[in-house]
Structure 1
Amino acid sequence: MEITAGVPRLEPRQPLVADVHAVLVDMMMNHQFAPGARLNIDALARSLGVSPTPLREALARMEAEGLVLKEPRRSYTVAPLIGLEELRKLIDFRLLVEPAAAALAARHASDEQREQLEAFAHTGGAGAQDAAANRLDMIYDATFHDLIASFSDNTWLRDALARLRSHLHMYRLYHHAGQAAATKPEHVAIAQAIAANDPDTAADAMRVHLTTAMRRIDDVFANSRL
Structure 2
Amino acid sequence: MASPRRSGRQPLADRMYEVLLGQFTDGRWSAGEPVNIGALSRELDVSQTPLREALARLEHTGLVRREALKGYRVAPLLTEFELIKLMDARLVLEPALAYEAARRTTPEFLEEVLESVDDLARAATSPDTEVFSAYWTIDERFHLLIAAQADNPFLEKAYRSLGGQVQRFRFFAKLGSARGAPGLAAEEHRAVYEALAAGEADEAAARMRRHIENAKQRVLEDRKSVEAAELPAAH
**TM (normalized to structure 2)?**
0.80
Consecutive unaligned residues of structure 1, counting only runs of 5 or more, are: 1-9
How much has 1:31 moved relative to structure 2?
5.3
How much has 1:151 moved relative to structure 2?
1.4
SS at the partner of 2:62?
coil
Identity of aligned residues (%): 34
Alignment partner for residue 159 of structure 2, among 158, 161, 177?
A: 161
Consecutive unaligned residues of structure 2, counting only runs of 5 or more, are: 231-235
How much has 1:43 moved relative to structure 2?
3.2
Alignment partner for residue 39 of structure 1, among 21, 35, 41?
A: 35
Q: Aligned partners of 1:169 and 1:90: how far apart in 2?
A: 10
Root mean square deviation of aligned Cα: 2.6
Which 10-residue stretch deviates more, 51-60 or 192-201?
51-60
Q: Aligned partners of 1:122 and 1:186: how far apart in 2?
A: 12
Q: Alignment length, in residue pairs?
A: 217
Alignment partner for residue 62 of structure 1, among 58, 63, 67?
A: 58
Query: Which residue of structure 2 lines up, in the alignment, with residue 173 of structure 1?
Result: 172
Say which structure is richer in helix.
2
Query: Which residue of structure 1 lines up, in the alignment, with residue 215 of structure 2?
Result: 213
Matches within 5 A, 1:1-226: 12-14=3-5, 16-29=12-25, 32-72=28-68, 74-125=70-121, 126-127=123-124, 132-165=130-163, 166-178=165-177, 179-224=181-226
Structure 1 pair 130–78 and aligned structure 2 pair: CA distance change class (3 A): farther
Structure 1 pair 75–154 and aligned structure 2 pair: CA distance change class (3 A): same
**TM (normalized to structure 1)?**
0.83
1:168-219 Cα offsets, whole Å, 9 max, x none, are 1222122233444432111111011011011111111001100000111012
Query: Which residue of structure 2 lines up, in the alignment, with residue 4 of structure 1?
Result: none
Matched AA of 2:190: V
Which 10-residue stretch deviates more, 91-100 or 63-72?
63-72
1:137-189 Cα offsets, whole Å, 9 max, x none, are 22211111111111112111111101101431222122233444432111111
How much has 1:115 moved relative to structure 2?
3.7
Q: Aligned partners of 2:14 and 2:186: how far apart in 1?
A: 27
Which 10-residue stretch deviates more, 179-188 or 145-154?
179-188
1:84-123 Cα offsets, whole Å, 9 max, x none, are 1111111111111111111111112234323432343222
Is the contact made by 2:176 and 2:225 (CA closer than 8 Å) also made in structure 1? Answer: no
Structure 1 pair 38–85 and aligned structure 2 pair: CA distance change class (3 A): same
